[in-house]
Chain A
Amino acid sequence: MKSLPITIDSVRKAYGSYVALDDVSLDIRAGEFLTLLGPSGSGKTTLLMALAGFVRPDAGKLLMGDRNITRLAPNKREIGIVFQNYALFPHMNVLANVEYPLALRRIPKAEARQRALDTLARVKLEDLSERSVAALSGGQRQRVALARAIVFEPRVMLMDEPLSALDKNLRETMQYEIRRLHDDLGITTIYVTHDQREALTMSDRIAVMNSGRIQQIDAPQRIYDRPSTRFVAEFMGEANIVAPGLVRRIDGAEGQREILMIRAESLHLDASLVGRDGVALDGTLRAKAFRGDNWLLTLALHGGQEILVCIPAALAGGCAELATGQWVTVYAPAGKVHAISGAMA
């Protein structure tokens, strides 16, 4: 199956005075799994709906391959969509739901049935093909929605928070299966979520959105380790944003002058885990909490700013003995200290 690249070029959409998409540009490669990640109201779903054709941009262009689809009707776009609430047809059984897009394409009955059954087998639902949609569990409905979206071999697939209604364990299984399905089929996939862990687990690249703009687009590891803005740093995990004056080099050399981001889990109590070019921060222990696989310490730096330190339980010798009010020094390797632009808020 040939998949297509997508180009989003300076797309803008406003509802009255509320700007949902503010000049968004994004290139998605053919066969890529790209996640739009952001809090609610960040514009990620609006962007997805614009690609699907249900939201018409005020300005800008959308291209699928070389074709301009900005003003193309949704039913001519050949895009498979998995909706947040699955949107299965309640008046049809599982098989009829999956056959639906094939019936629209006037594919002969026998062939359509075979293709639908093959696709159901792909999502491990072949035994439930005669079942009513109402009699399925959440995970099974999710699979039917997936089968229905891929059965007509679309060039592009859009998924709008497809796993948000499932419980945690099922969600992790489905993350793996959706990714495997994507790797088998190679369909260009745009996946919307507000769950940063899901985005990190599944994506080739992540586009982090906030208030109608793309903040950063990068591979998961770079997004996590090298956030370009404070928003991205804080949205992706427990991030400490500190002024350069509060951080000293272990070897005494001159430090960086920009604002620094250090993840809570990059900080250690043991200086030997960190190289000579690492950094140190000093503070008083405000609080400590045991969280099973790790300890979470809260330190107050000079001037009162609090930082979070996450020590894996396996390396936490001594954590239990620390008393609040005690003076503590924590260390981070140089590679985990990342300068970000933007003012200290």
Chain B
Amino acid sequence: MTIAADPVLAADGRRERRFFLSLSLPALCIVGLAAILPLLWIIRQSFLTTAGEYTVGNYDKVLSSGLTWSALAATLELSLGTLVVCILLGTPLALALASARPRVANVLMAFVMLPLWTSILVRTYGWLVLLRRDGLINAALTALGLTAEPLPLVYNFTGTLIGMVHYMLPLFLLPVYAAMRDIDTNLIRAAASMGATLGQVIRTVILPLSAGGIFSGSIIVFIYTIGFFITPAVLGGGKVNPLAIRIERTLSTFQDWGSASVLGILLLVLMALIAVMFLTARRLMAYNKMGAAHA
């Protein structure tokens, strides 16, 4: 649109933009103070020794430590694991919700949302009760004779993954459900009328048209899980040590603000890399989808 031809209209437009900008000023200030200042402080901190002198020694120490790289691996393992399970469980669930009758869908949605309204700490300890050696699940399994020994369900990767998926699933589900619900029913009917089976309809129509939602959900899950602390701390039993736990330990055990700051920056760089990867992948997919009718 070109309204620039008329100087009065252009001036009007400028005034309007300035007005809206001024309305968002309080929010911008809060974001600036709460996000950017601490970030700058952390960057500064990463270059200081405990005595307060400038150094690059913190980077040297952290990046040459094996613990850092194993924490990085643990972080990626946990995040990717959570994401994969969320996609595998969440996509069919979203499909079921989107195709259910509105009243049924609302009830199911309430069940899905319930965990979000409960404190994360309460829920994590709740899982502890369920998953312990003498917990409800193992008691039931041994009582039914399905397992001779209680299964190691908690204080390890499995337990952490269960807790993480439980927390992340609603966050993944919401954008996917929204995308699927927006698909025109007639598209599905049209595909069926041309001979598509249910599986083909899902593969060629529903999934491509909800790819945007699946992508958004994946980014949310990934960004959340990558810095997650409580669940691995409670359910990991010391065996799952992602970067967040490394940072906490560096601070609480060694009071090493410099190294902790370097780890924090590492986490930030990781998030930025992943966000860029996701967005690039999404752009490539959007570019390729034209003319793709492979049934």
Binding site for B on A (CB under 8 A): 52-54, 73-81, 83-85, 87, 89-93, 95-97, 99-101, 103-105, 130, 132, 148, 152
- Name the contact of B294 in the complex, choosing from A77, A103, A105, A132 (C-beta under 8 A): A103
- Name the contact of B193 in the complex, choosing from A80, A84, A92, A105 (C-beta under 8 A): A80
Q: Which parts of B149-185 form the interface with A (CB within 8 Å)?
A: 184
Q: Tell me the complex Cα distance, A97–B192, Å.
A: 14
Question: A34 CB to closest chain B CB, in angstroms?
Answer: 19
- Answer whether A83 and B194 are a contact pair too, CB < 8 Å, given A92-B292, A100-B204: no
Q: Tell me the complex Cα distance, A105–B200, Å.
A: 11
Cross-chain contact A148 with B187 (CB below 8 angstroms): no
Total A-B Cβ pairs within 8 A: 82
Q: Tell me the complex Cα distance, A99–B204, Å.
A: 13
Question: A71 CB to closest chain B CB, in angstroms?
Answer: 15
Interface: B197 (CB within 8 A):
yes
Q: Tell me the complex Cα distance, A187–B189, Å.
A: 21
In the complex, what residues of B have CB within 8 A of residue A75's CB? 192-197
Interface: B121 (CB within 8 A):
no
Question: A94 CB to closest chain B CB, in angstroms?
Answer: 9
Q: Tell me the complex Cα distance, A85–B190, Å.
A: 11
| B contacts with A, residue count (CB < 8 A) | 24
Question: A295 CB to closest chain B CB, in angstroms?
Answer: 45
- Name the contact of A83 in the complex, choosing from B189, B195, B290 (C-beta under 8 A): B189
Binding site for A on B (CB under 8 A): 184, 186-187, 189-197, 200, 204-205, 208-209, 289-295
Q: Tell me the complex Cα distance, A80–B195, Å.
A: 10
Q: Tell me the complex Cα distance, A152–B295, Å.
A: 15
Cross-chain contact B195 with A78 (CB below 8 angstroms): yes
New contact pairs (10) apart from A73-B192, A92-B289, CB-CB < 8 Å: A53-B192, A74-B189, A75-B193, A89-B205, A90-B209, A91-B209, A91-B292, A101-B195, A104-B295, A148-B190
In the complex, what residues of B have CB within 8 A of residue A130's CB? 291
Question: B162 CB to closest chain A CB, in angstroms?
Answer: 35
- Name the contact of A52 in the complex, choosing from B189, B204, B291, B293 (C-beta under 8 A): B189
Q: Name the CB-closest residue of B to A79.
A: B193
Cross-chain contact B193 with A103 (CB below 8 angstroms): no
- Name the contact of A97 in the complex, choosing from B200, B293, B294 (C-beta under 8 A): B293
Cross-chain contact A74 with B192 (CB below 8 angstroms): yes
